[in-house]
Amino acid sequence: MIMINVHSLIKAYNKEIVLNIPELTIQRGEVFGLVGNNGAGKTTFFNLILDLILPSKGHIINNEVKVQESEDWKAFTGAFIDESFTIGYLTADEYFGFIAELREMNQADLEKHLGRYTDFFNGEIRGKKKFIRDMSKGNQKKVGIAAAMMGNPEVVVLDEPFANLDPGSQFKLRQLIKDQVAEKGTTFLISSHTLDNITDVCSRIVILEKGKIVKDVAKTASTLKEIEAFFTGVVVEESNFNLD
């Protein structure tokens, strides 16, 4: 069953094409990993899915809703792009409360949802009278990610969720994503510019380079090598050279 459908999508700034995806479909329950270097167009693509910027051409359909035309996708889509997705002058609990109300969750739902994040939060987020703007970058990110998964969304978009997190938290986040997929069949769209985390959680990996999809493979042991080679090719060669 198709969750997200991209039709001849082009985003250009002053005639310079930054994203060009002629055709892309993402299945329900897929964990879609988007990998690419800085400026490859990952965030642009996510912003287009969330209707935060307008495409120059084409459109995106999210669960039968044409994103550029209707707002109904908001009811089943959660997202965290960067720290600007949190509200600096609220405490974490107030922020969760605010999002919970927008997502029409009651107090019990909220507690149940956040209960799953106890480990991930590491006792530094909840029950603190500390504004989000005063938290560390990593903790701000944790708040944003937990809020993005609120209200049983069918699609969750996470831009660079692993960056700025300590290794322990990265591991816990991977587990949280896997659990959510197994229990609820949520579709995830995750981007990263490093491979280790994304290859662990994702079922499908797409490599974006200069706005174009250059590789699109399901994750298996053999494709993993292929992807790694694509990315680290240059580095591997160099190190080999040194060893020799």
Among 40, 79, 158, 181, binds another protein (CB under 8 A): 79
Among 2, 75, 182, 218, binds another protein (CB under 8 A): 75
Among 111, 119, 134, 166, binds another protein (CB under 8 A): 134
How many helices and strands in the chain, by DSSP H and E?
A: 8, 10
φ/ψ of 75, rounded to 5, equals -65, -25
By CB under 8 A, tell whether 88 contacts another protein. yes
> Which candidate, 131, 123, 113, places its Cα nearest to that of 186?
113
> Could you give the 3-state DSSP secondary structure of residue 68?
coil
By CB under 8 A, tell whether 86 contacts another protein. yes
Among 59, 131, 209, 215, binds another protein (CB under 8 A): 131
> Could you give the 3-state DSSP secondary structure of residue 150?
coil
By CB under 8 A, tell whether 81 contacts another protein. yes
100 CB neighbour count, 10 Å cutoff: 20
Measured between alpha carbons, how far is 180 from 176 in angstroms, rounded to an integer?
Answer: 6
Among 14, 38, 54, 115, binds another protein (CB under 8 A): 54
Distance of closest approach, residue 147 Cβ to another protein, in angstroms: 9
- Between the CA of residue 73 and those of 6, 67, 167, what are the distances in Å? 15, 7, 33
Distance of closest approach, residue 104 Cβ to another protein, in angstroms: 8
Binding site for another protein (CB under 8 A): 50-54, 74-75, 77, 79, 81, 84-91, 94, 97-99, 101-104, 129-131, 133-134, 151
